[in-house]
Amino acid sequence: MTIRKRISSSWLRVCAFGVLLCASSAFAQKSELADYAKSIGIAGSLTTVGSDTLAGLTTAWVEEFKSIYPNVNAQVQASGSATAPPALTDGTAQFGPMSRPMRAREIDAFEREHGYKPTELRIAIDAIGVFVHKDNPIKGLNFEQIDSIFSSTLNCGGSLRVNTWEQLGIPYEWAKRSIQLFGRNSVSGTYGYFKQVALCGGDFKRGVNEQPGSASVVQSVASSITTIGYSGMGYRVSGVKLIPIAKQGEHFIAPTKANIVAGKYPLSRYLYVYVNKNPLEPLSPLAREFVRFIYSKRGQALVQREGYLAIPPEVAQTELAKVGVEVR
């Protein structure tokens, strides 16, 4: 179920990882995203390799783009964010969708091969949800509690590991049973983000059932009342509920559009596409038009359809300028 609508142009700031998202003052502010205008003679092969979290969105972009340009052959491989950097480095992909920023060692490996860094493009805003079964009465969790449930290291300040819902004050017989934990596998950017932020950089318990896809996490949580899992919010289904989150204490913040845009919800982040852009050369016509499509009204409408927040027009203009693509 999509919980996000389009961000209006009056919202110019979004916090993710505590970083303020602002348009560069070097670019004139736009009140809305540009319409996409078809170019002539666009053909060739387009390959994206990367995030499973972004699989649905990337596929939607590619299919819509192919409907505009029937002579484009496109392939989407979505095995996890960690697969994007090597694919860009060795040239087997032109685009690398990632649900986390590239790590320093990944950037270094690319730069050793090409002599310049990959270009990072912010393409959407996401928030990670903590899901429980729809009948679980828990009102909210803070990072210390989440860490005590999911981690073996207790880096967020807890003193005891939480293994049952009874330990969190749920007064039912079922709450005495062990909590079943579900999450992403280690190649996922969602895994890395949750580990760094919600577990304060700690390690997961061995008992976390790692799933190959975000949808699998949420479906697993829906299967039993004792479950809990984390995943991108766009994968919510009827059998689960998203719970409010607090960094500390009980000032729980619901994962609503308004709270995410205002930077109040603690588990929000940018989503990215990385591209191999030689600073001395323009993008190929095919790559140029795909980037322009992503940042058009049409492309960002698909962002919203897939359950994410569209980026503000001012940020779209800034990102296009990174790869030398003009707004038509």
For residue range 119-172, list pLDDT tens digits in order.
999 999 888 999 999 999 999 999 999 999 999 999 999 999 999 999 999 999
Residue recorded with tokens 């990385």? 274
Which comes out higher in pLDDT, residue 205 or 23? 205
- Does 261 have pLDDT greater than 80? no
Domain boundaries, the chain: 14-126+271-322, 127-268
Round to whole Å and give the CA distance between 167 and 228. 14
3-state helix, strand, coil split of the chain in percent (to 5) is: 30, 25, 45
> Among 228, 220, 221, which Cα is nearest to 204's?
228
Q: Which residues contact 216 (CB under 8 A, 6 or more apart)?
A: none
- Does 117 have pLDDT greater than 80? yes
- Does 103 have pLDDT greater than 60? yes
Tell me, what amino acid is at 265? Y
The 8-class DSSP code of residue 78 comes to: E
Round to whole Å and give the CA distance between 94 and 244. 38
- Torsion (CA) 124, 244, 227, 232 in degrees, nearest 10: 0
- Does 81 have pLDDT greater than 90? yes
Q: What is the three-class DSSP state of 6?
A: coil
The backbone region for 112, taken as left when phi is positive above 0, alpha when psi lies in -120 to 50, beta otherwise, is: alpha
Average pLDDT taken over every residue of the chain: 89
Question: Among 5-9, 73-77, 138-142, 301-305, whose mean pLDDT is lowest?
Answer: 5-9
**Is-contact 267 128, C-beta < 8 A?**
yes
Q: Work out the pLDDT band at 31, boundaries 50, 70, 90.
A: low
- Does 58 have pLDDT greater than 90? yes
* C-alpha to C-alpha distances, 132 to 92, 194, 226, nearest whole angstrom: 39, 16, 8
The 8-class DSSP code of residue 8 comes to: P
Which comes out higher in pLDDT, residue 53 or 15? 53
Distance of CA 43 to the CA centre of its chain: 29
Q: What is the pTM of this model?
A: 0.69
- Give the CATH H-level superfamily of domain 14-126+271-322: Periplasmic binding protein-like II (3.40.190.10)
The residues facing 119 across adjacent strands are 275
Mean pLDDT of the 304-314 span: 85
> Among 280, 54, 114, 99, which Cα is nearest to 195's?
99
Round to whole Å and give the CA distance between 265 and 128. 10
pLDDT at 306: 85
Query: 127-268 adopts what CATH topology?
Result: D-Maltodextrin-Binding Protein; domain 2 (3.40.190)
> Among 243, 264, 284, 304, which Cα is nearest to 56's?
304
Q: For strands 180-184 and 208-211, give the pairing.
A: parallel
Return the percentage of the chain with pLDDT > 90, whole number: 73
**Is-contact 147 202, C-beta < 8 A?**
yes
- Give the other-Cβ count within 10 Å of 61's Cβ: 27
> Among 103, 133, 97, which Cα is nearest to 117's?
103
- Does 28 have pLDDT greater than 50? no
Q: Work out the pLDDT band at 205, boundaries 50, 70, 90.
A: very high
What are phi and psi for residue 218, nearest 5 degrees? Answer: -65, -40
- Does 16 have pLDDT greater than 50? no
pLDDT at 312: 83
Which comes out higher in pLDDT, residue 314 or 228? 228
- Does 207 have pLDDT greater than 70? yes
Question: Among 49-53, 202-206, 261-265, whose mean pLDDT is lowest?
Answer: 261-265
pLDDT at 26: 32
Listing DSSP states for 263-276 in one string gives T-STTEEEEEEEE-
